[in-house]
Amino acid sequence: SNLSNPNGNSTYHAAQARLVEKALFYYDQAGDQARNVFQNAAAADYYARALSLVAPGDLQMQYQLRVKLDDVYDQLGNREVQKRNLERLHHLAGALGKPYNFAEVSKLETNYRFSIAEFPQTIEKAKETIELAQQAGNREFAMRAYAYIMSSLVSLGKYGEAVGFAEAGLQLARETGHLSGEAQLLNVYGLIALKLRDPETARNRLERSLEIYHQVGNLRGEATPLANLGMVYSYLSDYP
């Protein structure tokens, strides 16, 4: 039997470890597939199962799965669970100690604040994200943060202030050739211009946003400036 064979036990444990590894890979992949077709409840279940199989010392894998869980909890609007998961992510980023992780968690916390309509806190957290993103050399996180600042200022009715951040964000996007970031910022800029009763600037920014999304093949992205252009055309027909 295995018990009388000194190598039997280690062979058994190695086989068990391989099984756990396979199951972890399966649940992670199944979660990705479910998330890609917007089956967020199923994705959350798969990722949670994968997380339960991760070795306690594998902080990077725990971190990666919790980032994916944040996305599905966000899509589900499950704010309480999202908040608890973000607290664990904050702790893991500290343990990993890498600038990228600090910047990413700050970006996710910014999104959470915006989701629960805490706009002044969103702005503060987004400014922190821009600093951390610069330290990590990650322009994408910085541009997301600019978009959150702009959207929060719009929600607070501070349109003039939002224009300054729009210009700063667009400059960063253009300097780095980040087309998706530029399209996203142009879309928010278009809304700001409309709020400032400048429909021509709004149309210009939104049409450029639509062009870029089309250029990079982002169909989901195209839908947002298209919908906003509808508001601009409606405004122009109301105010000839």
Question: DSSP of 78-141, one letter per residue?
Answer: -HHHHHHHHHHHHHHHHHH--HHHHHHHHHHHHHHHHHTT-HHHHHHHHHHHHHHHHHHT-HHH
Which amino acid belongs to residue 77? G
Residue with tokens 């055309």: 233
pTM, to two decimals: 0.84
Q: Does residue 2 have a pLDDT over 60?
A: no
The pLDDT tens digits of the residues spanning 120-132 come to 999 999 999 999 9
- pLDDT-derived band at 3 (thresholds 50, 70, 90) equals very low
The pLDDT tens digits of the residues spanning 31-47 come to 999 999 999 999 999 99
